[in-house]
Amino acid sequence: MTADDPAARLAETHARIARAAATANRPTDTVTLVAVSKTHAAAAIRPLIAAGQRVFGENRVQEARAKWPELREETPDIALHLVGQLQSNKAEDAVALFDAIHSLDRPSLVTALAKAMDRAGRRPPLFVQVNIGAEDQKGGCAIAELPALLASAKAAALPVVGLMCVPPLKLEPAPYFALLAKLARDNGLAGLSMGMSSDYETAVTLGATHVRVGTALFGAR
């Protein structure tokens, strides 16, 4: 990625997604590019919106709430995804603000999101985040706890559409993406949120429906 204007970076990213999708014999429109704009100011985001990007990701409720109302007023058809950890006491804000949440990872959040959705009358789709590399410091539910978490989400009528993961840094990501795809298949879930700037093409070849790309679009944070 050498181009430094945002429109060119966006076009290059779309081209790479299309190439990876073709390799896997998948239609490219089965992959949603989530442009992760965390830490970047509105001025850095507007050029991507002008270039046609409509789906954006943020990792903090507070940052999103400060940044996006104005941008959304300018461009109403923006979809905003929460890709970062969610605290239960922010569930209500998150449900009001985001069009998808990628970080459901524990029973207490099932309860908080169910309550927030009932109260808001708004049910953004959810991805269950899986700690796919069983890393101590990482968010996500343990693989062994996934069936129980999915069952409790179902009992609470939460709109779970897929699984999400962030594989261990510095290790080959493909086996982790393949494992997440298998877990989704086994649990009858179609959505797969996986792949970031350094590995989104690999993720697409292994079935990603949502790639979360920041640096490759916006430059370094």
Ligand X SMILES: *Cc1c(COP(=O)(O)O)cnc(C)c1O
Residue 166 as a binder of ligand X (CB under 6 A): the answer is: yes
Rounded Cα gap, residues 40 and 116, in angstroms = 28
Among 13, 32, 59, 131, which residue interacts with ligand X (rule: CB under 6 A)? Answer: 59
Any contact of residue 191 with ligand X (CB under 6 A)? no
CB of 82 to ligand X, least distance (A): 9
Q: Contact between 184 and ligand X (CB under 6 A)?
A: no
Q: Does 197 bind ligand X (CB under 6 A)?
A: yes
Member of 14, 16, 26, 38 binding ligand X (CB under 6 A): 38
Of residues 188, 190, 192, the one with CA closest to residue 208: 192
Length of the chain, in residues: 221
Contact 158, 116 (CB under 8 A): no
Q: Which residue, among 48, 96, 94, 95, has the nearest Cα to 71 in the 3D structure?
A: 48
- Which residue stretches of the chain are H helix? 6-23, 42-50, 61-74, 91-97, 107-120, 146-155, 174-186, 200-205, 215-218
Q: Which is nearer to ligand X, 59 or 131 (CB)?
A: 59
39 sits near ligand X (criterion: CB under 6 A): no
Q: Is 6 in the site for ligand X (CB under 6 A)?
A: no
> Per CB under 6 A, which of residues 73..112 are in contact with ligand X?
83-84
For ligand X, the binding residues (CB under 6 A) are 36, 38, 59, 83-84, 166, 196-197, 212-216
